[in-house]
Structure 1
Amino acid sequence: MQLRLVFTFLLFACGSSAVYAGCPAMFDAEMRLLHSSKTVNLCDLVEGKPVLVVNTASHCGFTPQFKALEAVHQQYGAQGLVVIGFASDDFRQEAKDEAEAAAICYKNYGVSFTMLAPSRVTGDRANAVFKAINRQSKQPDWNFNKYVIDKNGAVVQRFGSATKPDNKKVRDAIGMVL
């Protein structure tokens, strides 16, 4: 009986550590969704799954890549891949108004994957996810850098802005983590 009480206490004391044992530390964050007051717990979203992380901007020459990102999401989502777009104005190409950014993503390109509210992705003020990515790989040097991350939180491959999400090299990297 005492052992059961101790075990129960430890479960409550550990809290999210027990719940998120399969979640990489880099995703242990609550972030606001684009043009919403709602937040998403990234561990709930990615636990035990590979991830494609992309830093985005709604007024960039690479913005049409949203269409290919959505196609990747549709093709690989059922196999477990999670696509997350991190809106950012680090390169001064994000809409100043989140409603406009959301319209570009959701209405113009039909984005249904998770899009997060604008945050920093470079330097000391980068959000926690990109701080972890930047320690493992080259930080974004422009919008629409793509990072294929395995279910353990390791960056498997980084693709620059010019590499489209439906490029064979990106798809091959995704295939490696599925």
Structure 2
Amino acid sequence: MKLYDYEAILPSGEVYSLSRYQGKVIVIVNTATKCGLAPQFEALEKIYNDYKENGLIVLGFPSNQFKQETENSKGAEEACRLNYGVTFPMHQISNVNGPHRNPIFGYLTSNSKAFLGEKIKWNFTKFLVDRQGNVVKRYSPKDRPEKMRKMIEELL
């Protein structure tokens, strides 16, 4: 399967195909609003605003797997919008590891093993995907979003 074959679920419950982003450069990040790294939302939003007109999309996937997220998807989305001004798409809370992980993260981790291993170690692991749907870089949770700018510009 390719990344575009997977479906994502918005906090509203709407299911859509990632094929809607075919031809775009994509940043996919697992998020948590109560995490110490949550200020990265602001940097991710800045990158999104700086490059969205050139074909970049940022997709946030909340996860409570590390016990740092609100109890429901709408609450997580609201916290992102109100506390950090996030306008990029957020999704339903889901697991990023283990047998019940979101299949998108199974794809991302299995296609980025060479970067940092298969398991996601913490919130704000960031995956950079090129216009063809290939995972080109995986950034660790502590990597600041600004570190992605140069490669994003090259891919755009």
TM-score under structure 1 length normalisation: 0.78
Match of 2:43? 68
What residue number does 1:77 align with?
Answer: 52
Matched residue SS, 1:114: coil
Distance 2:101 2:82 in 1: 28
Letter of the 1:174 partner, please give it: I
| Counterpart residue number, 1:126 | 101
| Percentage of pairs with the same residue | 37
Asked if 1:27 is matched to 2:4, the reply is yes
8 Å Cα contact 2:73/2:91 also seen in 1: no
> CA-to-partner distance for each residue in 1:60-86, whole Å, 9 max, x for gaps?
001111111100100011110111011
- Indicate whether 1:156 and 2:132 are aligned: no
In the other structure, the counterpart of 1:144 is 124
Contact kept, 8 Å, 1:55 with 1:140, in 2: the verdict is: no
User: What's the secondary structure of 1:92's corresponding residue?
Assistant: coil
Whole-angstrom distance in 1 between the partners of 2:60 and 2:153: 20
> 2:91: which partner in 1?
116
Q: Matched residues in 2 for 1:85 and 1:43: separation?
A: 16
- Provide TM-score, normalisation by structure 2: 0.89
Distance (whole Å) between structure 2 residues aligned to residue 99 and residue 156 of structure 1: 31
Q: Deviations over 1:107-145 (max 9, x none)?
A: 111111011111111133221211111112233210001
1:117, 1:151 → 2: CA distance? 24
User: Structure 2: which 5+ runs fail to align?
Assistant: none
Superposed displacement of residue 39, structure 1:
2.9
Cα distance between partner residues in 2 of 1:159 and 1:29: 21
Distance in 2 between residues matched to 1:128 and 1:164, nearest whole Å? 25
Q: Which runs of 5+ in 1 are unaligned?
A: 1-23
1:51-108 CA distance string (max 9 Å, x none) = 1010101110011111111001000111101110111112111111334312210111
**Deviation of the 1:148 alpha carbon:** 0.7
- Cα distance in 2 between the residues matched to 1:64 and 1:158: 19
Runs of 4+ in 1 over 6 A off after TM superposition: none
Partner residue in 2 for 1:173: 151
- Figure out how many residues of one structure are paired with residues of the other and give that number: 151
Pair member with larger Rg: 1
Number of the residue aligned with 1:101: 76
Determine the structure 2 residue equivalent to 1:52: 27
Supply the distance in 2 between the matched residues of 1:43 and 1:57 (Cα, whole angstroms).
Answer: 25
Query: Do the aligned partners of 1:50 and 1:81 also contact (CA within 8 Å) in 2?
Result: yes
